[in-house]
Structure 1
Amino acid sequence: MKKQTISLVILFFCFCTSQLNAQEVDLENLDDKLKETLKKNPFKISGGVSANAVFYNSNVNQSREAFTYFLNGNLNLGFYNWSMPISYSLTNQGSQLGYQVPFKFNRISISPKYKWVKAHIGDSNMSFSPYTYNGLLFTGVGLELTPDIPFKIAVMGGRLNKAIEDDGQEQTIPAYKRMGYGAHLKWEKDRYKLGLIGFYAKDDYNSLKQSIDHKGITPQENLVLSMQGSFKLLENLEVFAEFSNSGLINDTRAEKGNYSKGISNRFLKSNVSSESFNAYNAGVNLNLKTASLGVKYERIDPGYKTLGAYYFNNDLENITLNTAFNLFKGNVNVTANVGRQRDNLDAAKLKQTERWIGSVNTNVKMGEKLMVTASYSNFTMYTNNQLNQFKNINDNPLALQQPKDSIDYKQISQNINVNANYILSNKKELTQNINFNYSLNDMVNRENNIVRKGGLNRFHNANLTYSLGFPEKTMSIAASANYTNMYAASKTTNIWGPSASINKSFIENKLQTSFGVSYNSSSSNSISTKVTNFRVNAGYSPWEKHNFSASIIQMFRNTNQDIPDKKLNELTATIGYNYSF
């Protein structure tokens, strides 16, 4: 894979050279352009740095660290057409975990760029497609070449996981050292785009002193190949599609065996643990002046996996329809989508799940003062669970004599959200605003059309906020009331409480201050809990590009619940410094 990646890069440079040589060069104006460029300041430097320290104290023993620091920064060095962004993130978070994880908390990345050439050095991430390599952090080198010609290329290579020995700690995540390499080739024209993707990853079995088979972790090898493309049939009509095949060796130590299924496995030394999976999608998009319409089909094989992503859903088939349009001169905006999803594509499970997914979002502008937004979504899931095991016996006459023994399970989840914002006053000396928000989440579980005890969960939340501002005095005041009603597990819980805050600027807006207080009372059956929060924030900018910040949050919680820590006092203080240049 390394040799193939290098070969692709060499071929790409040769192609670019031939393209550039074929272009006519304006020699008469070359000297004038060069002189004009040299007159400019060649050196440029910009960036920023931030440092934050968090202090935590509680009267209850907590696993949270008492002191945590975060150092983040970015530096952009420029020299004529060159630029070199450098970013880093340092912290002591995780230093007192007492166990090991296969990823890094401290990171540094360098991304030099010259015109259409960009590199990634250090701890970086790139994305090719959802089915191949998608945002996984690697420690190594990446390269993106985007010249002013149809052909583009992106390549990466580096360590995906560091080797972690099993130290006996329950929380430790042991892992083999894993290396990964990938390339994304693209050919882009005005009316069509084509792409080829290859991603390869392999675990080093010799990176650990002892086997971790008892943890269910084996050394793996993976090759994913993908083809993608889009075509404009008309100026406003586009079709797109992508196909990916993932060849996975679950255990590189397994007995050798020929496994020819799938394109990717033809390039791997397959064994008896080899598998092949497919994923693909296709769709059509129609874009009009005030509306759009699209349809998409997606299918991912059961067990589909790529070592180039953190997490992946599989065993699903989606058909979705989406639309968006504007009405009444753009004062009403509507977006909607509806789809159907099912699993158990290979009929290997005893049950199959199907669900309808639909949502509508609407923004309505009623004059200059009132804005209303509303959304509704409905997720309906069906599961037919066949409990009669005689159905698994082919052509067994006894199956016809058995009573019907199955569950028709249906889960319906509905979400409603309404937000209304009304401007009472918008003057230089006084601004007033009222905001109301209501949300509902309702989930019902039905078995054979019967809602059993505990099968209904309902959540209501309402919030009303009044804001008062004095722009000339650089001061604002806000007060709000919040109410929540929850019904779950046949129990009702009510939470209510007010909150208030005041913001004020001093010293010609160089000092920003705020103070807030909130109170919440929660009651459920015979259990009552009361929580009070005090918040103080300050930000000071004595000089341009420099900012100091500090915040304190004090929480008091009291409950009559029969637990050891009925009274909780928790203090969190944060100080920070930011500098930009």
Structure 2
Amino acid sequence: MEKKSIRFLCMFILSFFWFCASYAQEEEKEKSPVKLSGSIGFFYDYYYFYENNYSSFRPRYPENLLRLNAQVNLQLGKHFSIPFSVNVTNQKVLYNLPSLPEESALDYLQNPANNISINPKYKWAQAFIGTQTPLYSTLSTGDIPIFGAGIEINPGKFILSATFGKSQRAIEPNITLNIPGAYEQNIVAARIGVGKLEGSKFTINVVKIEDDLTSVNTAPIGVDPIEGFTISPYAEFKIFEKLKISTETAGSIYTSDLLNVGVIDAEFINDLADYITINASSTADFAHNSRIDWKGDTFQLGGEVKYVGPGFLPVGYRFIERDILDYKINTGLNLFKKKVNLTGSFGIRTNNLNDTKLSSSERVITNANLFAQVTEGFSINLNYSNFGFNNDASILNQRIELVNNSITVSPVYTWKNEKYNHLIAGNVALSSFEQFDVVSNAFAKAENSTYSLNYNLAFLKMPLQIGAQAIYLENQIPTGDFNMLNYGITSSYKLLDKKLTPSLGLNIAHIDMTGFTTDYRTSLHAKIAYKWTKKLTFKLQSRYSYFKYGTSRPNATLDQNRVQFSVQQRF
């Protein structure tokens, strides 16, 4: 193990036991206004493999993986708290490269593989420091992690939120190493309004994102620098106890290439040049989303309408489908004292509303789920979903038409006597996917069937559990069939006053593909968990797998072993 990994391991261990020591006097802390809650854990994974006649195999895990995860809240008195989250690793997963750039301490903290945040809170005010993902609304910002700082206050009915940070690190391009590179990307978001953050409110949301042209010495390959701005009034009201309405209309200006030298001769757009770069690659458009939900004890009903213009982009989201109009209905029903629950949704999505593409499309989305507690020991769950897509292209090679259907049936039966507790769970999943093939001028169909059965036996007079499971998978596609039969057994036992729990599992799989002989896989899983105290747990487990391939890989074998060790402390 390299020196850096050893130092990292030492840091993990020292930090872990420092927290354990700080929590040693539990009774005194309960009487103190200072309280610590949450958990902290250290994890180490070691993985190795050996292949024979399988030179193209790529390792499925890193050889040495170190992780420190902590979700802790420090409560100081009645109103002040400091929640902090630490998820760090020794892996540089930001880079999937033959050669890794050198990382500074700040680079390490900003690495998306790590998540470090401290969010002190006092009554109605909270600060955000480190990695965060601000969520304001569906048309402004909500899924871009950033490394920076922010604040959110809600005194009375006044709402103010603001955050800024880096959403993408700069990476220099390198043709030799096949590194396209990336610009540094910064984001600023804010909202102001009235109401309660977790209740009825009206806010104005503003988000701006911008690539820094000076962040790299050489322009990234095939990557254009961008800048965008979105503003949206958002309203959410709870009119009655069971009726909730939300509505949002958003406008955006988006420049897809800051290096574009073209100009737009439109005075109302050029007036915005003081706030955002405007050139021939800029677009401006709007979007709207409204939703209404009635949630009663027995009956639920809701509806949603969404329109997204072809030039609209909510810059606080990585991706959104544009030029669409959605209609959706959701419903739910609880009967017989909630022993029968039925939920369903139906939606239609139409695109190319403004004829900006060569063809239009229409999709139908349906989902229904039924859960029934038939008797005290028997329950069943049924689920059906349908997804359809088609366009109106008259030219054969532009025609798109597909239909996906799936149904799942999951019964569960339990019974017990004085000595044993039995559980049998089954699952049948059937799905079909049919798509128009423009080459053959006909529909191509793929079908998938999965059948599984699980049995678990718990001894009531001794701490022993035994389980057995079997899975059969059949996948039929035009190019050939794929079948797999997987079966296994597991067992666990508690020792030393139920503090020590060893468990063992064995699985065997047969895999068949059209035109080849059977592949075999044998897996052995051993695990030991020990509760040192009620809140301190040590775990050690090993997963060993042996693959013996048929004619799909002649004379090929593969051995894999993954050993995992963890220490977790709850507060």
**Structure 2 counterparts to residues 519-534 of structure 1, below 5 A:** 519-527=508-516, 528-534=518-524
Cα pair distance change 1:69/1:173, threshold 3 Å: farther
Shift of 1:192: 5.3
Taking the aligned partners of 1:461 and 1:40, their CA distance within structure 2 comes to 55
Shift of 1:154: 1.6
- Secondary structure of the equivalent of 2:150? strand
Cα pair distance change 1:424/1:408, threshold 3 Å: same
Identity %: 23
Contact kept? 1:99, 1:172, Cα under 8 Å: no
Aligned partner of 1:570 in structure 2 is 560
Pick the aligned partner of 1:92 from 90, 93, 101. Answer: 90
Pick the aligned partner of 1:188 from 190, 195, 198. Answer: 195
Contact kept? 2:227, 2:277, Cα under 8 Å: no
Deviations 1:452-505 (A, max 9, x none): 37x110001111111110133111111122111110124222211321100111
Contact kept? 2:412, 2:425, Cα under 8 Å: yes
Cα pair distance change 1:131/1:171, threshold 3 Å: farther
| Residue identity opposite 1:228 in structure 2 | Y
RCO higher in structure (CA 8 A, sep ≥6)? 2
Whether 1:243 aligns to 2:249 is yes
Pick the aligned partner of 2:366 from 346, 354, 358. Answer: 358
Contact kept? 1:262, 1:277, Cα under 8 Å: no
Aligned partner of 1:48 in structure 2 is 39
Taking the aligned partners of 1:244 and 1:70, their CA distance within structure 2 comes to 41
| Residue identity opposite 2:471 in structure 1 | N
Contact kept? 2:483, 2:512, Cα under 8 Å: yes
Taking the aligned partners of 2:277 and 2:82, their CA distance within structure 1 comes to 40
Aligned partner of 1:320 in structure 2 is 328
Aligned partner of 2:415 in structure 1 is 424
Taking the aligned partners of 1:523 and 1:191, their CA distance within structure 2 comes to 55
Aligned partner of 1:494 in structure 2 is 483
Shift of 1:428: 5.4
Shift of 1:267: 4.1
Shift of 1:138: 1.4
**Structure 2 counterparts to residues 99-118 of structure 1, below 5 A:** 103-118=111-126
Pick the aligned partner of 1:484 from 473, 485, 502. Answer: 473
Shift of 1:170: 5.5
- Secondary structure of the equivalent of 1:59? strand
Cα pair distance change 1:168/1:465, threshold 3 Å: same
Taking the aligned partners of 1:178 and 1:86, their CA distance within structure 2 comes to 25
Cα pair distance change 1:465/1:268, threshold 3 Å: same
Deviations 1:265-301 (A, max 9, x none): 7843422222113221123323334101111111112
**Structure 2 counterparts to residues 364-513 of structure 1, below 5 A:** 364-387=372-395, 409-425=400-416, 427=417, 429-446=419-436, 452=442, 455-513=444-502
Cα pair distance change 1:520/1:295, threshold 3 Å: same
Cα pair distance change 1:336/1:169, threshold 3 Å: farther
Deviations 1:168-199 (A, max 9, x none): 25553522222211112232279953121001
Contact kept? 1:444, 1:451, Cα under 8 Å: no
Contact kept? 1:100, 1:173, Cα under 8 Å: no
Contact kept? 1:73, 1:88, Cα under 8 Å: yes
Cα pair distance change 1:359/1:151, threshold 3 Å: same
| Residue identity opposite 2:408 in structure 1 | N
Shift of 1:378: 1.2
Cα pair distance change 1:47/1:318, threshold 3 Å: same
Pick the aligned partner of 1:82 from 80, 83, 99. Answer: 80
Which deviates the most, 112-121 or 554-563? 554-563
* TM-score, length of structure 1 as denominator length: 0.83
Deviations 1:398-451 (A, max 9, x none): xxxxxxx687653111110000011132x4531011111100111112469x98
Whether 1:517 aligns to 2:506 is yes
Taking the aligned partners of 1:555 and 1:207, their CA distance within structure 2 comes to 46
| Residue identity opposite 1:62 in structure 2 | R
| Residue identity opposite 1:239 in structure 2 | I
Cα pair distance change 1:116/1:235, threshold 3 Å: closer
Shift of 1:228: 1.3
- Secondary structure of the equivalent of 1:351? coil
Taking the aligned partners of 2:179 and 2:111, their CA distance within structure 1 comes to 12
Aligned CA RMSD, in angstroms, stands at 2.7
Contact kept? 2:283, 2:312, Cα under 8 Å: no
| Residue identity opposite 1:153 in structure 2 | L
Cα pair distance change 1:196/1:485, threshold 3 Å: same
Cα pair distance change 1:408/1:122, threshold 3 Å: closer
Taking the aligned partners of 2:314 and 2:99, their CA distance within structure 1 comes to 27
- Secondary structure of the equivalent of 1:554? strand
Taking the aligned partners of 1:291 and 1:506, their CA distance within structure 2 comes to 49
Cα pair distance change 1:150/1:325, threshold 3 Å: same
Taking the aligned partners of 2:31 and 2:329, their CA distance within structure 1 comes to 53
Taking the aligned partners of 1:537 and 1:512, their CA distance within structure 2 comes to 8
Contact kept? 1:247, 1:264, Cα under 8 Å: no
Aligned partner of 1:270 in structure 2 is 278
Deviations 1:198-242 (A, max 9, x none): 011222111111122xx2222222111011113455554443311
Taking the aligned partners of 1:253 and 1:406, their CA distance within structure 2 comes to 35
Contact kept? 2:523, 2:546, Cα under 8 Å: yes
Taking the aligned partners of 1:558 and 1:365, their CA distance within structure 2 comes to 44
Deviations 1:290-341 (A, max 9, x none): 1011111111122533332233332322111111011233221100111111
Shift of 1:552: 0.6
Which deviates the most, 337-346 or 256-265? 256-265
- Secondary structure of the equivalent of 2:217? coil
Which deviates the most, 191-200 or 263-272? 263-272
- Secondary structure of the equivalent of 2:494? strand
- Secondary structure of the equivalent of 2:214? helix
Contact kept? 1:258, 1:271, Cα under 8 Å: no
Cα pair distance change 1:323/1:442, threshold 3 Å: same
| Residue identity opposite 1:445 in structure 2 | Q
Contact kept? 2:264, 2:270, Cα under 8 Å: no
- Secondary structure of the equivalent of 1:473? coil
Contact kept? 2:166, 2:186, Cα under 8 Å: yes
Aligned partner of 2:315 in structure 1 is 307
> Which stretches in structure 1 are left out of the alignment for 5+ residues?
1-38, 388-404
Whether 1:159 aligns to 2:150 is no
Aligned partner of 1:132 in structure 2 is 140
Cα pair distance change 1:299/1:263, threshold 3 Å: farther
Pick the aligned partner of 1:204 from 207, 212, 218. Answer: 212
Contact kept? 2:283, 2:311, Cα under 8 Å: no
- Secondary structure of the equivalent of 2:355? coil
Aligned partner of 1:168 in structure 2 is 175
Shift of 1:110: 0.9
Aligned partner of 2:288 in structure 1 is 280
Shift of 1:574: 0.7
Number of residue pairs matched? 520
Taking the aligned partners of 1:191 and 1:210, their CA distance within structure 2 comes to 48
Taking the aligned partners of 1:279 and 1:265, their CA distance within structure 2 comes to 22
> Which stretches in structure 2 are left out of the alignment for 5+ residues?
1-29, 52-56, 102-109
Deviations 1:367-410 (A, max 9, x none): 101101001011122222232xxxxxxxxxxxxxxxxx687653
